[in-house]
Structures are given as C-alpha cells and as structure tokens.
Amino acid sequence: MHYPNGKKQSVNAASTSVNETIYSNRGMTLEADINATNQFYLQTNQAIIHKKPTPVQIVRVDYPRRSAAVIKEAYFKQASTTDYNGIYKGRYIDFEAKETKNKTSFPFHNIHEHQIDHMKQVVEHGAICFILIRFSLYQKTYFYPAERLFDHWENQFNGGRKSISIKTIEKEGYIIPIQYQARVDYLKIIEQYYI
C-alpha cells in the first residue's frame, strides 16, 4: 500500500544539496504521540486507554501467491465514533484526536456530526469527554472539553462560524506541552479539572 496518494516516493540523496533541509518525519503525528502516551500510562498503571479499532468489512481479496494476500475492496461497517476510550480512576474517558494545518482555526469539516452526537451521549452519562487538537504548523496541542465544543458546533447552524478560532481554543482549552515519556499528558488536565 502506498499512502496517502497511492504512489511510491523516493528521495534521491544525491539531489539533496547541503543547504536543503528535509522536514519529513521531523515530529511524530498526534496519533503516534497519543499512542505512546497511552502505552506509558498502561505501563505505569495510571490508566487504561486504547485506540478504538475501525470496523471494516473486507469484500474482495486477491491471493497472488500463498504467502501474500492483497485486499482489493473493503468498506466501513459503520460510522466511527471517537478515536480513544478507557478508564482513569474509575471514570470513563472518551475522546477524539484531530490535527490541522490551519494557522488560525480548527475547521468543523475535520469532525463529523455522528461523532458530536456520540460525544453528547457520553457526556450525558457523566463521562469525561474531550477533543485533542494539534495545530501542526505550531506543534501545539490543546485539550478542549466536549461541552465547549458543542456550543460552537451548534452555532454554525445559526449563521455562526464553521470553525473555532485558535484564540478561542487558547482561551477555553488547555495547552498540553510535549514531554518525553507521556508525550501528550492529557491526564494532568483531567486530574486538575475533572477529578
């Protein structure tokens, strides 16, 4: 599989001059950072948080040889909810993780209505629910409570913005500094504001 555009890319070392800097893989993605953080939480017995698998129905598989199978056609079985869930100090946690290259806001096209509906149900049942938003150009990650997200989401249907400005996220959310072991230590925010 060649991701994301389906083509293999090769870097010719001879064509890269001394003055050129290659920035690919400069930092981990938000998902990789969260997965590493969750692994640290598990190893240190702080919390049990896992990435939810995406349910996929495989329709057609080609077997070019015995040792290799190639999936040719597959479909999502159902709409996904949020990315992560688990438990911390007896409290259920459910959250979504999103990265944006946008410099000034988090656009709502990055999240789906069925995800908002799921998050509302989770909050109604007393769980801790939030979204982690990373502005990749700034390498800044914010913990943004779901309850605050809902108001902005609803406002877009009444002529409001179709995004949340970075200034609003800075004001209503909580920045999570990147660290060594718990790279995105969102439990510190939960401990301070929810537990």
Give the start-to-end residue ranges of the domains of the chain. Answer: 27-53+79-193
Beta strands in the chain (DSSP E): 48-51, 56-65, 68-76, 84-88, 91-100, 105-107, 128-135, 140-145, 163-165, 174-176
Radius of gyration of the chain from its Cα atoms, rounded to whole angstroms: 20
For position 78, what pLDDT does the model report?
58
Distance separating alpha carbons of residues 122 and 133, to the nearest angstrom: 19
Annotated ligand binding at 33? The verdict is no
Q: Taking all residues of the chain, what is their mean pLDDT, rounded to a whole number?
A: 83
Which has more confidence, 6 or 132? 132
For position 181, what pLDDT does the model report?
84
Which has more confidence, 71 or 152? 152
Annotated ligand binding at 191? The verdict is no
- Name the architecture of domain 27-53+79-193: 3-Layer(aba) Sandwich (3.40)
Q: Which has the closest alpha carbon to 179: 169, 170, 189? A: 189
Which has more confidence, 149 or 195? 149
Is the predicted pLDDT of residue 113 greater than 60, yes or no? yes
Annotated ligand binding at 94? The verdict is no
Q: What is the pLDDT of residues 135-188, one digit of tens each?
A: 999 999 999 999 999 999 999 999 999 999 999 999 999 999 988 889 999 999
Range of weakest confidence among 67-71, 112-116, 185-189:
67-71
For residue 32, name the pLDDT band (cuts at 50, 70, 90). very high
Annotated ligand binding at 81? The verdict is yes
